[in-house]
Structure 1
């Protein structure tokens, strides 16, 4: 045996196998790196396709999604080898293979009509979501196993990304919940309400990583939301432009009770986010979120605004603020109630005992000050006017001429009273003409029957029947020439220009009648006082026509839109009033006094002058 036969032989296929395994390991590392670094599904798919193109040359890749949760359109083309549009038949065939894979929940492999391509599809199954599918068109090879394994590898990394993403979301929710609990716990350790709101703003700004947090408080129901705290700013100018813009944005959010978000990418912001856009433009911020603070009793406590939030934390910030809104509103309300009582009694007592010569003056000042803080009923005095609860219109029942009118505006009528009569002459003339035409039709029928002309006989018979129906209609109108009142009441309106023989159109309004059993008192509330008015409050009504009588009623409805009356902007509040004595008439005017909740004496005396000065001087 020669020496050469004893040497080991080299096997080239072993080296090829090792190179293939090395490439597979590199591919798995690259895919795993893409899975761990992708921030959303779209970025993940693009990264996976880039890695795939470095190892093979697919002709077409499609991600088939049947739900909106994925954020991708159904049948989205992720990659195509050619720069032109893909073959419609190939795309349709691949989508059908993806649909079959979703239904069977298995890998589907089908050859294409053109033998140079093979279609692969694998389902992407994620818990809590509808299944998707990834479809790839590979060039046809001797074995489909490598391409199938490669496709399943891509799908497994997509599923892994979903699992990791859900875990990160759960972890973030847990951290947010712990932060909310810690925030609410720290609120109980602060003495004054101003310090409470300032601490909440500072802690939220530090946790969320935004530039600034603004907290607004509604001091009274339906009052304007006022800025209470700005993170990082212990003292701020309450009349500055930036504060005014923030208060406007917070007030709109609180009134609408909806969360509003604005980013610099919003090219056409809606009307709800215009105020928030003004805040961001004034502060050179790229984003902002406003969330209303609504208590458990559905009453607004205020609002919170986060300014200049990092783009990657925008959605998490919105979710955290919405989750913390109700418990934070309840805690702020409790803190406001707890710290609302003045804590300066010790200092006042010390001054009282330490300065004996001035004791009398000090006692008088204290008494006067105490009187100013005593609660007292606050009454809003407004103009009022009586209006009918409902109105009925009396119209012409058919076309014709007016014979006479029997009532005028201001007359009392009962149900069934005759209000007007229509002229019957035109109807009688028309009836006579129709009777003559009917007789002629009957004669033509008889003549046709005599000569056995059955066609003309039938036509004449039908013509006679038609004329008979028209005669019945005319008879009905003649019997109902009197226009009667449908209800008992007073004639509110009716034209005095109708004259005898005036033509009337069907449905033309002749009278307007208002029932008198019940009336509505329309109270004209000035817009400066509307924030103190609520449905159900008592109102004392005094009418000028009946100066000796007073009626205590309850407000039932407040119009949501202001009106202009006597050059004044007012809101109309309604209260029902019985008119069993029939002494009241629509249009009567008087004065109404609305009883609002108790207010301090100093507020009753000075809130109007203060509002006037603040409006025109500041």
Structure 2
């Protein structure tokens, strides 16, 4: 019977809950959907939850973090709740354990409840993985199963709070995105126009329509005063109109102060002088005026935008930020178009004036210092003199270069040296295979012995004619032996003199055939050199015989070697798109570190000239040639 009684009680409570949910006041849902503030939204949410969760006596919703000290209650249920301290423990516990909790008055856990039997239920509000708030409810005691249902209800209901917080956090980003979209659209409209005047007209007209302004004006600083360039919805306007002059005065006022000027003043921003703006407002009547100056990266003001709206629609913070964004985007674009649309004469004049101001103006001390230094250097080098020298690529060669060739047809037997080796006179360089020659020599030696024996035998028999024949055959064999001996001796290829092997590396060609006259090595002496310089055709007329100079080799940069010009060849060489003449010279000093085919640079001393001529004569000659080529 008691069990049936409990079941009837549970069904009665459930039935009552369903009836409450089914007949919730529509006003609460409308308030929840139309809420504009945190307090209004959270209070409506708490009242809805109190209808859904039976036995709710009080509750609160708070946003922020206890650890960071930013937690603050936003709404309490019921309205005008006075006793709030009993929620402190459950809120701290939720932030500590970072999950939903229940504090009971049964001695378990760190229960902190009023004297009457109550349950405190707390549930965290998560947004993007961060704990951004807590919901706390005070409930009448109930079984554990119903407490689980309460937790599920809070879990489902907290999604409303999460969505609300995410919307609040996304509002600044949405505002920024909206401003950027507007700025991008304005930029596209402005850049589509080719001329400055058309671009300015499109820009102010688009601004007036998008910002719901009565009129938007743009002007730029010219001769230290603002000049109005375009008015929205006005293709032409008289420059002497009082209205245009008043707008220009308002722009001057904002540009002189270098800040945004709003009239009537809002009282929240920095203090500004608004005399010109007030005079403009008197002409226009019930109007709110805002002027935003154009400021470049260096902090210089060069123009302004003036916005006019009716007095019933003043400039709020969001609209003011949009005006400043438009000025930051459109200012550089319009200024660039304005400067590009000027006549070429005014462009040159402005460039000259800008450059001149850097040299004689009150600032830019670095430019002045550099200009004075350059001027002093030009004056100095115009009078100072120095040695004029012609620079040319140089290569070192042996004065004599002997080719070592194959003395006869044969096969390479050995190669004892290769390019780069220093050799002495008579040193073995290579040898040819002489086995066939030795066999041939043995053959002729045997035939000679036979002919000599035949000669002696015929003489003993008294056959003089046959003896003479045998004697001549023996002589012929001796000649062949002499020739073979000479060839065998020449199979050993020796160095003709002391020197260095310039070319030839036969170590990888042993056993290969060679023909008579094939060059096997080239040998150059180490104590006799000649220098070849490649002088540019533009400077060859300066070079004379017996002129001296200095050589610096790439391998020996620390060793300058003096030389004397000995020969100027009349034949030119083309290399790397330029023509050169070969000039030969002899070294006046010798070093054992020199080797043939070393390269470097040589400078031939021509004579004394002014330093400025030395450094500029090539350019002057090129200009003369270019002018002469194009001159009719």
Q: TM-score, normalised by structure 1?
A: 0.43
Larger radius of gyration between Structure 1 and Structure 2: 2
Relative to the length of structure 2, the TM-score reads 0.42
